[in-house]
Amino acid sequence: MNPSLPADSSALSPTAPAPSYLDVIRAEARNPERLEQVYQTARKERKAGQFATDMAVCHTEAPENVLYAAWYYRLRAEADEHAGRLAANWRLAVPLSVALGLAFWLLSDPHWMLAGNIPLLALLWMPLTALALIWFLAVSARQHYVWPAGASIGVVAVTAYVLAIASARLAPAQQYLTLMVAHVPLLAAVAIGLCVLGWASSATNRFAFLSKSIETIGTAGVFSIAGGIFATLTYGMFQALNVEIPEPLVRLLLIGGAGLIPVLAVTSVYDPALSPEAQEFRRGFGKILAILMQVLVPLTLLVLVIYICVIPFNFAQPFNSRNVLIIYNVLLFAIMGLLVGATPMSLDDYSPRYARLLRIGIIAVAALVLLVSLYALAAILYRTALDGLTMNRLTVIGWNTINIALLALLLFRQARVGPAGRGDWVAAIHRVARTGTALYVVWALLLTLGLPWLFLSK
C-alpha cells in the first residue's frame, strides 16, 4: 500500500473549516485596542478578509455599536482602495500586454534567425517579458526605480552578451545558443525576483515568490488554452469559407496573442502592493493548483517505485543513449518544481494527519529522485570519460550536482526536524528552496558568461 495515502479518505481533506472571528468580536465589542490586535494578527495570517466579513455581520447585528460602525467603514474604505488599486493595475497591464504582443509578432518574422536556424524570438521572448513585468510591478507598487532600472540593465546586458558571443563565433554558436534558449529565460526571471525581493530576502518571502511564480505559470497556461481554442476556431471558420489568412496575420493571431498573456496572468494572481508572503494563498486558482500538486505526490511516488524496480533490467540505457539522459534531466527539473508546488506556505489550513502524510510523501519522492539522479549523474560522467567534455555535458553535470545537493539537503534537514514540530518541516523546505535559488542563479550566470571561453572555436 502506498504510504502517502491514508486508509481513511476523510483524512485527505487538506483544509480545516474557515476561521471565525465572530465570538472574539462580540466579546470585545467595547475594547478597541483588543480588536486592533486581533485585526493585525488576522492580517499577518492572511485572514483579514474573514475578519472583515465577520465584522460586517456584527455591525448588521448591532448597528448602534459605534465601534462596530467605525470598523465597518474603515474596512469598507480599505476594500474600496484595494479595488481602485486593482483597477489601476489593469489599466497599466492592458497597454503593456498589447505592446509585448506586438513585439513578439514583429520578432517572429521568419527572416529573423540566429545560428542554426534558431528563431530570434526563442532567445528574446523572456527578456522582453521580464522587462514588461519589471516595470509593471515597479509602477504598480509605486516603489523606487533603482532596483527596476538595475534589473532591466542586467537583462539587457546578459541578452546582448549572448548575442555578441554568438555573432563573434567564439564558441560553437548553435550549441551555445541552444543552451542559452533555456538559461537566458532563467536569468531574466531572476531579474524579476530581484526587483520584487531585493538582494537579501527571507526564506519565507523567497518561497512565496516561487509559489506565486508557479501559480502565474499555471494561470498563463489556462489563458493559453483559451487563446488556442479561439485561434483554432477563427482559423477554422476562415478555412471553411476557403479564405486563406495571410501569414503575418496568422503570426499576429498566434505569436502576438501569446505576448498578451504574461502581464495579464501576473495581474490576475499578484498584487504588486503586497510582498510575496502577504499574497493570497488560501483561495482561488493557487489553492487549486497546490492541491493538484499534492495529489501528484503519491502518484509520482508510485511511478518512481515502479521505475526503480525496472532499472536493473535496463541498467545500461542512460550510459549508451543520449536521449534517455535528456529525458532524465527534464523529469528531474519537473519533480523539483513539483516538490516546491506541493509544499504549502504554512500548515494553518491543514489537518495534522494530512500534513503528516504530505510530509511523508515529499520525503519519499525526494529520496527516490535522489537515487535516480545519482544514477543519471554516473551515466553522464561515464559518457564524459569516454568521449570528452562538451558544453552540454558540463551543463548537465552542473545542474545534476546542484539538484542532488539540494535533495540531500532537504532530506538532511527533514531528519533534523524529526517527527515532532508540526510547522518546522515546512520552514525547513523553505530554507532549502532559498539555498537552491541562490545556487541556480550562480550556475546559470557562470554558464552564460563562461561557456564560450571554455570551448573556444579553433
Give the pLDDT confidence of 59-71 residue by residue, as tens digits. Answer: 888 888 888 888 8
Q: Is 262 among the domain residues?
A: yes
Same domain, 312 and 377: yes
Same domain, 374 and 398: yes
Q: Which range, of 16-20, 227-231, 254-258, 286-290, averages the lowest pLDDT?
A: 16-20
Q: Is 74 among the domain residues?
A: no
Same domain, 226 and 336: no
Same domain, 242 and 285: no
Picking from 250, 275, 300, the residue at the C-terminal end of a domain is 275
CA atoms within 13 A on the CB side of 199: 3
Contact assessment for residue 4 and residue 357, using Cβ atoms and an 8 Å cutoff: yes
Q: Is 4 among the domain residues?
A: no
- Total domains, the chain: 3
Same domain, 203 and 287: no
What mean pLDDT is predicted for residues 110-125?
87
- 14: amino acid identity, one letter: P
Q: Is 78 among the domain residues?
A: no
Percent of the chain whose pLDDT exceeds 70:
93
Same domain, 265 and 302: no
What confidence category does residue 171 fall into, taking pLDDT thresholds of 50, 70 and 90? low
Higher pLDDT, 76 or 457: 76
Contact assessment for residue 120 and residue 84, using Cβ atoms and an 8 Å cutoff: no
Q: Is 253 among the domain residues?
A: yes
Q: What is the DSSP code string of 296-352?
A: HHHHHHHHHHHHHHHGGGGTTHHHH-HHHHHHHHHHHHHHHHHHHHHS-S-STTS-H
Picking from 246, 275, 304, the residue at the C-terminal end of a domain is 275
Same domain, 424 and 311: yes
Q: Is 7 among the domain residues?
A: no
In angstroms, rounded to a whole number, what is the distance separating the alpha carbons of residues 417 and 347? 15
Higher pLDDT, 152 or 52: 152
Same domain, 390 and 456: yes
Picking from 253, 275, 297, the residue at the C-terminal end of a domain is 275
Distances (CA, A) of 232 to 226, 238, 393: 10, 10, 40
Q: Is 30 among the domain residues?
A: yes
For residue 113, give the 3-state DSSP assignment. Answer: strand
Same domain, 162 and 309: no
Other beta carbons within 10 angstroms of residue 210's beta carbon come to 20
Number of H helices, E strands in the chain: 17, 0
Most confident of 14-28, 51-65, 123-137, 237-251: 123-137
pLDDT at 458: 46
Q: Is 1 among the domain residues?
A: no
In angstroms, rounded to a whole number, what is the distance separating the alpha carbons of residues 162 and 422? 47
Range of the domain at 137: 88-168+181-275
* Residue of 263, 268, 275, 272 whose CA lies nearest to 137: 272
pLDDT at 17: 46
Contact assessment for residue 177 and residue 114, using Cβ atoms and an 8 Å cutoff: yes
Same domain, 249 and 295: no
Same domain, 192 and 56: no
Same domain, 299 and 440: yes
